[in-house]
Chains A and B, each alone.
Chain A
Amino acid sequence: MAKSALLKSSIGKKYWMALTGLFLCLFLVGHLAGNLQLLFGTQLQFNEYALFMTTNPAVKILSYVTYISILFHAIDGILLTIQNKKARPIGYAKNNAGANSAWASRNMAVLGTLILIFIATHMVNFWAKMHFTTMPLQKITVEAQPGATQDFYLTSGWGQDKFIPVQSVDGENIVLDGRDFYYTKPLKVKFAEGYKDLHTITIEFFKDPKWGLAFTIFYVFSMAVLAFHLLHGFNSAFQSLGANNPKYTPAIKVFGKGFAIIVPLLFAIIPLYIHFFK
């Protein structure tokens, strides 16, 4: 019995919901930090980051843990919800649930389903494009000679080692998107695969003349859903893991509320800013 207890029992399932949920909260922080570069970073910086996120081996491991966590959290959640529905085959004619519990806490399955739909569409819109399609590459305009410019693509090796994606320029100062480089000897030509221009894809997505506003509304709505899910989920995870104590629970609750509001809010600002001000 004890062997299956951590997987099959009601309490075991709750541990997994809590652990995967908290891991996904960490993921949200990382994802948000990356996304905020759309507001505070340059195009180059964002595309560099996107490349790093799709190629770095440590990130790869983390991303698989994230996919598994999302799937496990969703499947476990569905199983729990089905069991919970079965536990009361005949409902009440009148149920004043609002008198004793918060709306979000009673609607985690609905909120979670909406988030899952959002994740699916979000991955189709950006993740799948980044991973599986040939995307436009980021072009950098370089001033090769006074008054004459030329377009280049940055390569994935840029900034790390040998090759710099610029046609030979006679030992002059080159301006790359705000960064200054000075070369003392002629450089070799290297047109490599270049950075996928996720930055432009993202801007165009939310500025799409036909669908941009709808996408923006959908993304902001989904972040509101996420906020409600977190409002219950963050603190609930600690309770499920057995962390409930008069000493530190009030602090966890305050932190959880702040997390649930601030993180989705910052996420939501990004499409709003792009759509209306970019």
Chain B
Amino acid sequence: MNLTLKIWRQKNAQDKGQLVDYKISDVSPDMSFLEMLDVLNDGLVEKGDEPVAFDHDCREGICGMCSLYINGEAHGPDRGVTTCQLHMRMFKDGDTIFIEPFRAKAFPVIKDLVVDRSAFDRIQHAGGFISVNTSGNTQDANAIPIPKHDADRAFDAATCIGCGACVATCKNSSAMLFVSAKVSQFALLPQGKVEAAERVLNMVEQMDHEGFGNCTNTGACEIECPKGISLENIARMNREYFKASIK
């Protein structure tokens, strides 16, 4: 496959940045998208050019490090995958592919396609945890009976890898799908109920403080989420927030 890549290049956070065209040939349809970028970077390094900076780590869709807004969609045109799981067979020979960083005020660009997603970490620090005694006499979590339905819902929410595709996709750069997943995974379980009210109030406050936009229920996040986190979580967060607010 021969492709034209339009890649966002930006030296640093202060640089204005621009889209730069790259031609790449002999791309195998079996390559992952990141492998294709590796090949591009090899060529750039050989020529003595600066390689394109992009985030990646596990390359098996569980770490949430890879990002990229590919042809107008977070993690590219495929569904239920991260960019590392996106394969070049999703594209056609001769295609022009736009590759941009995730865009949001709360996700400032560090370099090229790498953005700072530590706003998510700060939201987690605000309440995305449960306080347990780890002094050695901790109760076995499996000893607490939990309805299967609730356990499944909690686990579904917990599969969120915090990649930020929801924010990147949302026309409002809203982080509600992420925050609601983190709220839900605890709100559904007895261990999480103890701090449920504080958690949702603090996490939402931090979310607003970070400069994410407001949810308008377009549902784009749910479609683009590599882990299929459901909008039901946002509704649950809205309920939890109301309950906590009138306490």
Q: Which residues of A contact B220 (CB under 8 A)?
A: 97, 100-101
**A87-B174, A236-B216, A243-B235 as given contacts; A94 in contact with B71, CB under 8 Å:** yes
Complex Cα–Cα for A90 and B19 (A)? 13
Chain B positions within 8 Å of A35 at CB level: none
Q: Does A106 contact B (CB under 8 A)?
A: yes
A46 within 8 A of B: no
Pairwise interchain contact A1-B174, C-beta atoms closer than 8 A: no
A248 smallest CB distance to B (angstroms):
12
B219, A86: Cβ atoms under 8 Å? no
A232 at interface by CB-CB < 8 Å: yes
- CB of B215 within 8 A of CB of A101, answer no
For A106, what are the chain B residues with a Cβ–Cβ distance below 8 Å? 171, 218
Instruction: Give the residue name and chain of the A residue nearest to B96 (CB).
Output: A94
Is A11 at the interface (CB under 8 A from chain B)? yes
* One of B59-67, B103-111, B139-147 at the interface: B103-111
Q: Which of B188-247 contact A (CB under 8 A)?
A: 201, 204-205, 207-208, 211-220, 223-224, 231-232, 234-239, 241-242, 244-247
A102 at the binding interface (Cβ < 8 Å): yes
B238 touches A1 (CB 8 A): no
B residues less than 8 Å from A11 (CB atoms): 204, 237-238, 241-242
Inter-subunit contact A100/B169 (CB<8 Å): yes
Residues of A in contact (CB 8 Å), total 44
Q: Is B211's CB under 8 angstroms from A240's CB?
A: no
C-alpha spacing A84/B173, complex, angstroms: 7
Rounded to whole angstroms, the CA-CA distance of A105 and B172 in the bound complex is: 12
Q: Contact: A15 with B103, CB < 8 Å?
A: no
Question: A99–B169 Cα gap in the complex (Å)?
Answer: 10
> Is residue B6 within 8 Å, beta carbon to beta carbon, of the partner chain?
yes
User: What are the residues of chain B within 8 A of A86 when measuring CB–CB?
Assistant: 105, 211, 213
- Give A residues with C-beta under 8 Å from B: 1-2, 5-6, 9-15, 80, 83-84, 86-97, 99-102, 105-106, 108, 232, 235-236, 239-246
